[in-house]
Structure 1
Amino acid sequence: MPAGSQDSENEPRHFFMLRRAPVPALRSVVTDICGYRELTPGHYRQIEYATLIVPLVINFDAPFAIALGRPPQEDDRHDSFAAGLYAGPVTIDSFGHSCCLQVNFTLAGARRFFRMPLSELTDRMVPLDDVLGHDGAALREALGNEQDWDRRFDLVEDFIVRRVAAASPRGPQIAWAVDRILESGGQTRIGLIAAELDWSRRHLAERFRDATGVAPKTLARMVRFNRALQLSRRGDGNWAGIAADCGYADQAHLAREFRDLAGTTPGTLST
């Protein structure tokens, strides 16, 4: 799955990566589309930290080895698939022959595109045929037969536009509740959301699992973590300030969350 850039301009180029922002019709559905191809043999490892996107990976070559919360083993190979939210680190290994197109969906976009409760994707990599059926197989074949990346991006965008247009949008209440958590940086009280909707906590949790794949408390936790991770990239090392800004009780609370959601400490990520 697509990762960051090379460590140095003087190092050999080991992979090709191209990103495209979504067309205006898909800006609330897709964050970006990536093309990725490895150029030299080797063992490459990437770690993703409790991300809030829902990826669809369409593979054209060797599968990735992927595991949740641990290093992958030989039987953890995955070809084309969709993956839901996971409240922890995901380790991705490849071996120099991977080539794929990845669509990164927003939570709202994923629910409309896949047309299933997102709880069916949570903590899983689900094969393409199981999430999109014959349409997915036909899309994979069309993309594989096309060698130009821009044309591949055009084809997948057209497919998403058509599929989303035919889907029912989220109900306004659950859309408001999810957006409330996202826009507050995960700091809105869950009880207050339930009260404003006049829903029980149980009903709220059920609707959240359908819309996002996780309970509201888990989503808020992941949103706070991602905001802290974003703030840490300022590079000033002020973890106490980040903890306060993101609603953690103290710096020790933030450190515990980083161990759970990233598998490492804040200090490790900042070095």
Structure 2
Amino acid sequence: MRTFVHGAAVWDVACPQRPSRVAGVTMAGFKVPDLAALRMVPHPAVTLLLEFGAGAPVVEDAAGRRRGSLVAGPGLGSGGTVRAWGTDVECVQVRLSPVIARAVLGAAPADLDGAVVSLDDLWGREAARIREQLSEARSWAERFAVTDALLAHRHAAGPPVDPELAWAWHRITADPGMARVDELADEVGWSRKRLWSRFRSQLGLPPKRAVQLVRFDHAAHRLVAGVGPARVAADAGYADQSHLHRDVKAFTGTTPATVAGELFLAVDDIAWPDRGTPARARPPAG
């Protein structure tokens, strides 16, 4: 476990010693005595928050407040409208590639419709069981093992996405901001309309939005690393610095300079040092 310090924030952060058995799953553990209001920055993954401590995180979006274990679709927080806070927060946070999220969750990311959903509503008694198991675990290593076993079991039992979509997602994440939807459709042998429809229903967002979100995430982390906006815009495939500014504003409701200091992003170097593990994908047949 490492200590993350950012201004007044002091968090304990734990990382698994080995990768998940399921490609496309990454996780981190957090112990936060006092989580001040935190802006949620959009991320190109489905977020699964498994809480088990004395306190409970609170997440507030336009639909209201949610407490306890939660799940949210890719791009949560667009517009800078989602906040999280709490005291005595202990949780395992899982990031699921949209390629595997449908199998693990038992529901398509599109069904989340960009909202925060209580895990109790989605999983029923299984949500209570995993909370109890995490509470009884004696170490972070045991908590990660319990979580990974559950995710692997659900993934094996759940429906896979179309292989063409897995390939398209791989192409989008392999070169952030550079993929073109028409080219993706040609590569998988589908019409643009069919790619849009299947991508949206199975992965939770349209392909063009996915390209924008992956590009933004890449750019945001470059800003946090101290790279200037002009260089970030050029390297991330934006037309110019103004284009970057508009994209950052749309996703976060704030400016590139503010994003560079976001607590939500600053912890990633400790909690998610590899920025996630892309789900394996094979080229489409033909």
1:243 aligns with 2:233: yes
Kindly indicate whether the alpha-carbon contact (under 8 Å) linking 1:85 and 1:123 is maintained by their aligned counterparts in 2.
yes
| Aligned counterpart in structure 1 of residue 199 of structure 2, from 195, 208, 214 | 208
Letter in 1 for 2:96: F
| Aligned counterpart in structure 2 of residue 112 of structure 1, from 100, 103, 106 | 103
Structure-1 residue corresponding to 2:211 = 220
User: C-alpha distance in 2, partners of 1:127/1:21?
Assistant: 29
Letter in 2 for 1:244: A
Letter in 2 for 1:62: G
Letter in 1 for 2:120: D
Moved more, 129-138 or 246-255: 129-138
The 1:263–1:5 alpha-carbon spacing in structure 2 relative to 1, beyond 3 Å, is farther
1:131-150 map, 5 Å: 131-150=122-141
1:171-186 map, 5 Å: 171-186=162-177
Offset at 1:14? 4.5
Letter in 2 for 1:65: V
Letter in 1 for 2:221: Q
Letter in 1 for 2:92: L
1:66 aligns with 2:59: yes
Offset at 1:231? 2.4
Letter in 2 for 1:172: P
User: C-alpha distance in 2, partners of 1:115/1:82?
Assistant: 12
Structure 2: any 5+ residue segments left out of the alignment? Answer: 262-286
TM-score normalised over the length of structure 2: 0.79
**Percent of pairs with identical residues:** 29
Offset at 1:21? 5.2
Moved more, 137-146 or 204-213: 137-146
| Aligned counterpart in structure 1 of residue 119 of structure 2, from 125, 128, 140 | 128
Higher relative contact order (CA 8 A, sep 6+): 2
1:253 aligns with 2:253: no
Q: Deviations over 1:40-66 (max 9, x none)?
A: xx5612223211121211222333232
Aligned length: 256
Letter in 2 for 1:135: E
- Secondary structure of the 1:243 match is helix
User: C-alpha distance in 1, partners of 2:81/2:224?
Assistant: 20
1:86 aligns with 2:79: no
The 1:170–1:22 alpha-carbon spacing in structure 2 relative to 1, beyond 3 Å, is farther
Structure-2 residue corresponding to 1:23 = 19
Compute the RMSD of aligned alpha carbons.
Answer: 2.5
Kindly indicate whether the alpha-carbon contact (under 8 Å) linking 1:14 and 1:38 is maintained by their aligned counterparts in 2.
yes
- Secondary structure of the 1:23 match is coil
Structure 1: any 5+ residue segments left out of the alignment? Answer: none
User: C-alpha distance in 2, partners of 1:139/1:65?
Assistant: 19
Kindly indicate whether the alpha-carbon contact (under 8 Å) linking 1:63 and 1:77 is maintained by their aligned counterparts in 2.
no
Structure-2 residue corresponding to 1:35 = 29
Kindly indicate whether the alpha-carbon contact (under 8 Å) linking 1:65 and 1:94 is maintained by their aligned counterparts in 2.
yes
Offset at 1:22? 4.9
Kindly indicate whether the alpha-carbon contact (under 8 Å) linking 1:146 and 1:152 is maintained by their aligned counterparts in 2.
yes
Larger radius of gyration: 1
Structure-1 residue corresponding to 2:272 = none
TM-score normalised over the length of structure 1: 0.83
Offset at 1:253? 0.8
Offset at 1:220? 0.6
Q: Deviations over 1:83-102 (max 9, x none)?
A: 11126136433232322222
- Secondary structure of the 1:96 match is strand
Moved over 6 A (4+): none
